[in-house]
Amino acid sequence: MSALTYLTLTQFKNRIRGLVRSPAKLIYAIIVVALLGLVVFAGNMEEGEAGAPNAQLGAIIVGYFALMFLMTANSGFSTGMSIFKMPDVNFLFVGPFKSVRVLFHGMFNQMATALIMAAVILFQYGWMHGSYGVGLLEMVFVMAGYSLTVFTAQITAMVIYAFSSGRPGVRKALRVVYVAVCAAWVAYIGYKALNSANVLDAICTAAVDPVGRLFPVAGWLGGACYEAILGNYTTALTLTAVWAVFTAALVILMAKADQDFYEDVLQSTETTFATQSAAKEGRVSENAPKKVNVGQTGLGGGWGASAFWYKHRIENRRSRKWLLSGMEIVFVLVNLAFAFFMRDSGIVAPLAFAAYMMFFYVAIGRLLKEMTKPYVYLVPEPPTKKLLWCMRESATGYLVSAVLSFVPMIFYVDAPVASVLAAAVAYFTYAYLFTAGNLVTERVFGSVTVKALIFLFYFIVLIIMAAPGIAAAIFASMVLPEWCALLILSLVNVLVALIGIFACRNILASAELNI
């Protein structure tokens, strides 16, 4: 057995042993599997006839794959996306191995990671089965397509970074190609939509027709998953073969065009490792962006606790080009896209999905980053006052996100205008409800590094905190209009959030930091 094969098998065996021998990981895995079984069972037990696959389903798959591919591949123009880890750098890069074999070793490990990430898609089984009749076998197709998309995007980012690092002209040319391909795809879909009486259906059809499938990776793999769901396995295999040729070309470019690719991926590997280490230790990564828009210096105002608000405003201005960050804009677009596909089911389903996305939105706020630094604890101001001023920064972003996510739904979601606006208010209140949940979790665990149990406890806290509002809205909907029930939901969310914030009002009095 070769050394790399032995290493791969041993790593796999140790991961299984680590799962069994770690109570936190084992409990977390059991609960995840149980929840997954509940989702599948509940999806199969739904009353009524299941829907049938159509162009909307294909557009969902292609659009989601395209979003993941573009976001990951785009990192190749900045820090790169490495498929290696620091142990690979310290041992394999300097070992007596051919660079091509090391490359394939990293690719195999990254493929396994992508498959684990794809398991999250199974939690979407309920609504996909009810709306489009997707079975478990079809969900496996989607999981495989997603994992291959993420894997190929990471290889693409690594190739882009390797060929453009230190070469501004090459980077600019690759950026032009990247933008041109995306623009051509969007222009084609827009052309089809404008020349059709039913704009929304035309967009879905264009995304999965032969021309729409020409979009690299996402169009091929998304179209393959959609054709496999329809039972057209010959077409699915053909599209998969196109993806295989593209991936093989990337590997050949990486292995043959530059045999010594270690130096090209070293910086991106170190950056990834530093970010992961910072997350495990409960601190902010020290890796600064390459381009920072400095502009005017100084806080420009503030005294005492209010200085943190001015500080956060400057940090936002220097890291953003618009009022919202790039990730926040992505969340808005995803909310609008989901509402489009669920437009006939009313406003409750889009609100539920938007609240789910808010879980990730809140995690990138300035408050949690500030709490990992010692300065906010050292300012001689009351801790409650400091907490409120730190929370003020996120209000504008949450408000803008609520407006951009729900106001456009007025024009295509089958719901009264009052209900859509009330849903926007509820979406805004969920932001601070989840912020309060973060504070409660931080208050209980501090900076403990047992991430599996913290994540589980966090979900339990959010479910408990969201339950009163949901229950109140259900009872109110029996006697009141939908928009009134949603406003009652918002009111209860505000009350629960205030209780959570009040319980954690002294969280900034002392620090528990890993410094």
The rounded percent of the chain whose pLDDT value lies above 90 is 17
Least confidently predicted of 153-162, 209-218, 378-387:
153-162
Least confidently predicted of 327-336, 469-478, 496-505:
327-336
Q: How far is CA 397 from the centre of its chain?
A: 18
pLDDT for res 449: 45
Least confidently predicted of 1-5, 114-118, 272-276, 455-459:
272-276
pLDDT band at 428 (very low <50, low <70, confident <90, very high): very high
Name the more confident of 52 and 146: 146
Name the more confident of 247 and 18: 247
- What average pLDDT does the segment 404-425 reach? 91
pLDDT for res 367: 77
Name the more confident of 503 and 452: 503
pLDDT for res 277: 59
The pLDDT tens digits for 60-119 are 889 889 988 988 888 777 655 566 777 777 777 777 777 767 777 777 777 777 777 777
Q: List, in order, residues 6 or more apart from 394 with CB less than 8 Å away.
A: 365, 366, 367, 431, 435
The answer, yes or no, to whether residue 356 has pLDDT greater than 60, is yes
Name the more confident of 162 and 358: 358
The answer, yes or no, to whether residue 57 has pLDDT greater than 90, is no
Q: Name the token pair of 488.
A: 């009652």
pLDDT for res 296: 65
pLDDT for res 10: 85
295 Rama sector, left if φ>0, alpha if ψ -120 to 50, beta otherwise: left
The pLDDT tens digits for 200-255 are 788 888 888 888 888 999 999 999 999 998 888 899 999 999 999 999 898 888 77
The pLDDT tens digits for 141-155 are 888 898 889 888 888
Q: Report the distance separating Cα 276 and Cα 91, nearest Å.
A: 19
Q: Report the distance separating Cα 78 and Cα 55, nearest Å.
A: 35
pLDDT band at 451 (very low <50, low <70, confident <90, very high): low
The answer, yes or no, to whether residue 259 has pLDDT greater than 60, is no
The pLDDT tens digits for 110-143 are 777 777 777 777 777 777 877 788 888 888 888 8
CB 436 within 8 A of CB 466: no
- Other CB atoms within 10 A of residue 18 CB: 11
Q: Report the distance separating Cα 434 and Cα 330, nearest Å.
A: 19
pLDDT band at 279 (very low <50, low <70, confident <90, very high): low
Q: Report the distance separating Cα 488 and Cα 509, nearest Å.
A: 34
- Angle at which helix 218-230 crosses helix 233-252, to 10 degrees, equals 160
Q: Which of 157-171, 326-340, 361-375 has the highest mean pLDDT?
A: 326-340
Q: Name the token pair of 431.
A: 């932001």
The helix (run of H) or strand (run of E) holding residue 281 is: none
CB 405 within 8 A of CB 332: yes
pLDDT for res 101: 75
pLDDT band at 267 (very low <50, low <70, confident <90, very high): low
Report the mean per-residue pLDDT for the chain. Answer: 80
pTM more than 0.75: no
